Structure 1
Amino acid sequence: MKTKIYQFIVCCICSACFTWAQEKPNIIILFADDLGYGDLSCYGAQDVNTPNIDQLAEEGLRFTDFQVASSVCSPSRAALLTGRYPMRNGFPVAQGKIKKHKDYGLHADEMTIADVLLKEKYATLAIGKWHLGFNKGHQPIDHGFQHFYGLQSNWHTKHPDLDDVYFDRKVVKENVAFETLIGDYTNKAIEYMEENKKNPFFIYLAYHSVHSPIKPSKEFIGTSKGSLYGDYVQELDYHVGRLTQALTDKKLDENTIVIFLSDNGPAICHFGGSAGPLNGGKYTTMEGGFRIPAIIKWKGKFATGVNNTFLSSMDLLPTLASLAGAKLPKDRVIDGKDITSILKTGKGTSPHKYMYYYNGINLQAIRKGPWKLHLPRTSEDQPFWSKNKNEKPFNGSNLKNIGCRGLIALGRPLLFDLEHDMGELTDVSKKHPEIVEEFLKEAERVRKELGDINVIGTDQRVPPFENIQEKK
């Protein structure tokens, strides 16, 4: 009799543990690279067809005012994973395979989404492009990911180890053809879902698409009206569809949060892409560099439709922590906010009073509600990817014909009402001097906290090299 009672109790405990595990949602972040606001058909693209991402948008929340914290790769990734501005987490410029960046990586003290979820008994896997340093201490498995499968950073053949696929710290495939990576990564994610379907998992899948090289697989060449770039976007869509279909087939879709977004705007100066109605693109602090396509779905739990709330990729860490039942540390500033209520209801106001637009370590714009003020700057203030020694300061009021690199040099503050002018075309600073004055005061305050050119902020983590804005 006692044996039967004991067995009954054990069964109840096991059942409760299994139920508890399943109550925590699985989480998948699909992070596209250099995908512009206007590159998907659900965001108005006419020359590409993205039915799978469109379906994700139809079944989830599609955001029209979702921002990242940088318009280049590495800082944007660091901000998403830590919930903190790049100036605060110590990763303000893109990491390169150069001598001065040899010790540059995501600091060991920084806490990532994976760190938070690992403490909540999640299985954690990073796949794809890391680009946050690859010395020991800076790798994915040093930052909360139990496993990593992917490349150190961007795919290149000019560096001998940048076309090698790693599993954890070891190379498992050498000299990999670029076109094979997107399918390989998707396969790995689907395998991991199957292996961990009885416990909560977190997959951070950072695709190389649609970053250069613009090399879609041969079966996708010629499938779009948008040249090779459009074909490349459609290939990304195909593999997103494979992954979401696998969730359905494995009966995991009702307990999995799927987040799709891009790391920054399109590289319109180099490889194409579209920012849609927005001005500028990658490398700029215009909306085309920071405002990105973003879709979040949790079947039956989150609202559906289109949401216009001003949100940030930094909001993901505190939001996912809340949904997983995790507590955040109180020893640091988390710039992101918990947006669970907005996701569940599809309604609400932005949790951010101000947002700051840095290009490298240069504060270039501030936003509050619909208002955005671009701050004066010189070409010398810019990071290496935006410098132009012969650039004359822009002193006009209409930005309709501004170049793809945005406002490299600016002689005076420019104010835009994004509610009526999301393309940042018409300066209205003379009509609203009180807003300009408020924002200039806020710029002085935040410089003291986060830093700027020739200013070290009180809560700025400074990278381990000098001349931060320079390549050499």
Structure 2
Amino acid sequence: MVAMEAVAAVMRWRLLLVLSAAGLGALGVPQPPNILLLLMDDMGWGDLGVYGEPSRETPNLDRMAAEGMLFPNFYTANPLCSPSRAALLTGRLPIRNGFYTTNGQARNAYTPQEVVGGIPDTELLLPELLKKAGYVSKIVGKWHLGHRPQFHPLRHGFDEWFGSPNCHFGPYDNRARPNIPVYRDWEMVGRFYEEFPIDLKTGEANLTQIYLQEALDFIKRQQAAQRPFFLYWAIDATHAPVYASKPFLGTSQRGRYGDAVREIDDSVGKILSLLQDLKITKDTFVFFTSDNGAALISAPKQGGSNGPFLCGKQTTFEGGMREPAIVWWPGHIAAGQVSHQLGNVMDLFTTSLSLAGLELPSDRMIDGLDLLPSMLQGQLVDRPIFYYRGNTLMAVTLGQYKAHFWTWTNSWEEFRQGIDFCPGQNVSGVTTHTQEEHTKLPLVFHLGRDPGERYPLSFASIEYLDVLRRITPVVQQHQEALVPGQPQLNVCNQAVMNWTPPGCEKLGKCLTPPESVPEKCSWPH
């Protein structure tokens, strides 16, 4: 009965929005809500006070959760940045949208500036579709879906952009490797470590403040014009090398990483306060999450916390895939709620289209779930979470149970060099340094009793056999129907790096590219 009421409520909402989009707003039909997606970079499940971080240094995010809904079981689509962002904006697994590599089994791949590929033209991105409902869209921060001209975010539905195509790694010498450009809309306006300095020694950078002002200005402009907006605020201060502005440096109990988190928390507070000042909180849907788990390889000085979960970024254990997630929509979502719905960043695509009164594309498989029934009516939908690493399905969660078909952290060679994705968390037979196959007898964990994935169920137990009977057909159906996209992350070429971004000639910032030599990208883990 509850499920039927939830579906009916969502259908009524969609009908109102369809009528609104048809121009009936003057009759009192509500306009579609503004959509604000706050995507953090390498922030872990355990980094917020509301998730148990002991320093309690995130009062604004904690208040956001108290006034909204917390999702403790929310996942990314991949344990790495680029594929998870592609999944969020397309509603599709990276194996479908092309953000993976076939250069090795179960290899994590992303878009450093030598990668030739990017988001394919055949993929439909969220801002493209939202245009049909009259939305104006802006991305602030890291794009990471390809830096060559055909992959520019304004070619894929966004109307405005302030940010960078790649991570803020550097500084580089602009001879062997160029510094990463920062764009305003179509053209670069400078480069990291040049016009946009980051002091690696002190950690000082003003970027979060710049990104905050971009968000505030955009919201004010769209409200003044009475246009629904989509703001994708994808900032990167918590990705190593972490940074914060001077007023926040040295203020956290957690060191420099905590300084970055405190500044992000303060910025979120200012964004929510602006929505309140403009009296548009009931008209603005806000969702906060992260692109993947905390990078424990950079911890503790440059990385965050995944709470009780195993390992971190780069792995398909819970620490690499489970994310903090908060939704805030006063007047629609009651305060102080916790939803145990299994969620995924791909759901933000589907939920956003539902908010806008738009139908899903019918010509492709969409993996995202509409979370509005869970948010508005408390409905729980039984759905699987698939854990991919590159081209390999590593695990699946259904209900409280997670089955691993492959386990791997990284190679013994890397591990002996000090590259450790699971520091202090060795679990014999689980955190393996060779690719171990378990497809015949999956390793199964009950995540409610054992969130740290330390105690696999006995193969001989009735519980194990019952779980296998439930999970096996779900996986078979998924794999039989899967049509992988063309892999975008196989080819690298030094000549395609950010030597001559659009607008470089106006700034005297064009650099001489080397000879074009395409080669297979190397993805060690």
- Scaled by the length of structure 2, the TM-score of the pair is 0.77
Report whether the alignment pairs 1:33 with 2:50.
no
> 1:110 is matched with which residue?
123
Report whether the alignment pairs 1:376 with 2:406.
yes
Contact 2:240 2:303 in 1 (8 A): no
Q: Which amino acid aligns with 1:88?
A: R
> 1:421 is matched with which residue?
450
Q: Which amino acid aligns with 1:167?
A: R
Q: Which amino acid aligns with 1:39?
A: D
Q: Is the alpha carbon distance of 1:20 and 1:206 closer, same or farther for their aligned partners in structure 2, counting shifts above 3 Å?
A: farther
> 1:395 is matched with which residue?
none
- State the 1:390 CA deviation: 7.8
Report whether the alignment pairs 1:71 with 2:79.
yes
> 1:11 is matched with which residue?
none
Contact 2:75 2:323 in 1 (8 A): yes
Q: Which amino acid aligns with 1:357?
A: Y
Aligned runs of 1:235-250 on 2, under 5 Å? Answer: 235-250=263-278
**Distance in 2, Cα, partners of 1:86 & 1:62:** 26
Aligned runs of 1:380-419 on 2, under 5 Å? Answer: 386-389=410-413, 401-402=426-427, 406-409=431-434, 410=436, 412=438, 413-419=442-448
CA deviation string 1:237-296 (max 9, x = no partner): 111111111111122222101110011110112233111111111111011111100001
> Of 322, 330, 337, which residue of structure 1 is paired with 2:362?
330
Q: Is the alpha carbon distance of 1:164 and 1:363 closer, same or farther for their aligned partners in structure 2, counting shifts above 3 Å?
A: same
Structure 1 unmatched runs, 5+:
1-14, 393-398, 451-457
Counterpart secondary structure, 1:173: strand
Contact 1:22 1:200 in 2 (8 A): no
**Distance in 2, Cα, partners of 1:336 & 1:249:** 33
Q: Is the alpha carbon distance of 1:71 and 1:108 closer, same or farther for their aligned partners in structure 2, counting shifts above 3 Å?
A: same
> 2:467 is matched with which residue?
435
> 1:90 is matched with which residue?
98
**Distance in 2, Cα, partners of 1:374 & 1:49:** 35
Counterpart secondary structure, 2:445: strand
CA deviation string 1:94-115 (max 9, x = no partner): 433354x22x101111111111
CA deviation string 1:183-239 (max 9, x = no partner): 111101111111110110000010102111122222212212111111111111111
Contact 1:48 1:224 in 2 (8 A): no
Report whether the alignment pairs 1:355 with 2:385.
yes
Contact 2:77 2:345 in 1 (8 A): yes
Contact 1:154 1:162 in 2 (8 A): no
Contact 2:339 2:375 in 1 (8 A): no
Report whether the alignment pairs 1:156 with 2:152.
no
Indicate the structure whose relative CO is greater, using CA pairs within 8 Å and at least 6 residues apart: 2
> Of 160, 168, 171, which residue of structure 1 is paired with 2:185?
168
**Distance in 2, Cα, partners of 1:183 & 1:98:** 25
Q: Is the alpha carbon distance of 1:162 and 1:252 closer, same or farther for their aligned partners in structure 2, counting shifts above 3 Å?
A: farther
Deviates more, 1:170-179 or 1:38-47: 170-179
CA deviation string 1:13-38 (max 9, x = no partner): xx955677962101111111111111
**Distance in 2, Cα, partners of 1:261 & 1:390:** 30
Q: Is the alpha carbon distance of 1:165 and 1:469 closer, same or farther for their aligned partners in structure 2, counting shifts above 3 Å?
A: closer
Q: Is the alpha carbon distance of 1:140 and 1:20 closer, same or farther for their aligned partners in structure 2, counting shifts above 3 Å?
A: farther
- State the 1:446 CA deviation: 3.7
Q: Which amino acid aligns with 2:255?
A: S
RMSD of aligned Cα (Å): 2.7
Report whether the alignment pairs 1:180 with 2:206.
yes
**Distance in 2, Cα, partners of 1:471 & 1:210:** 23
Contact 2:315 2:389 in 1 (8 A): yes
> 2:304 is matched with which residue?
273
Q: Is the alpha carbon distance of 1:21 and 1:247 closer, same or farther for their aligned partners in structure 2, counting shifts above 3 Å?
A: farther
Aligned runs of 1:187-202 on 2, under 5 Å? Answer: 187-197=213-223, 198-202=226-230
> Of 378, 397, 404, which residue of structure 2 is paired with 1:367?
397
- State the 1:469 CA deviation: 6.9
Q: Which amino acid aligns with 1:95?
A: Y
Contact 1:128 1:206 in 2 (8 A): yes
Structure 2 unmatched runs, 5+:
1-22, 101-107, 199-204, 417-423, 492-519
> 2:508 is matched with which residue?
none
> Of 361, 366, 374, which residue of structure 2 is paired with 1:342?
374
Q: Is the alpha carbon distance of 1:469 and 1:369 closer, same or farther for their aligned partners in structure 2, counting shifts above 3 Å?
A: farther
Q: Is the alpha carbon distance of 1:239 and 1:148 closer, same or farther for their aligned partners in structure 2, counting shifts above 3 Å?
A: same
Counterpart secondary structure, 1:23: coil
Contact 1:151 1:162 in 2 (8 A): no
Q: Which amino acid aligns with 2:119?
A: L
**Distance in 2, Cα, partners of 1:28 & 1:468:** 35
Q: Is the alpha carbon distance of 1:20 and 1:407 closer, same or farther for their aligned partners in structure 2, counting shifts above 3 Å?
A: farther
> 2:324 is matched with which residue?
293
Q: Is the alpha carbon distance of 1:155 and 1:341 closer, same or farther for their aligned partners in structure 2, counting shifts above 3 Å?
A: same
Contact 2:146 2:165 in 1 (8 A): yes
Q: Is the alpha carbon distance of 1:98 and 1:32 closer, same or farther for their aligned partners in structure 2, counting shifts above 3 Å?
A: closer
Contact 1:153 1:162 in 2 (8 A): no
**Distance in 2, Cα, partners of 1:468 & 1:155:** 20
Q: Is the alpha carbon distance of 1:422 and 1:150 closer, same or farther for their aligned partners in structure 2, counting shifts above 3 Å?
A: same
Q: Is the alpha carbon distance of 1:171 and 1:20 closer, same or farther for their aligned partners in structure 2, counting shifts above 3 Å?
A: farther
Q: Is the alpha carbon distance of 1:226 and 1:444 closer, same or farther for their aligned partners in structure 2, counting shifts above 3 Å?
A: same
**Distance in 2, Cα, partners of 1:205 & 1:191:** 13
Deviates more, 1:227-236 or 1:429-438: 429-438
Contact 2:86 2:119 in 1 (8 A): yes
Contact 2:33 2:356 in 1 (8 A): yes
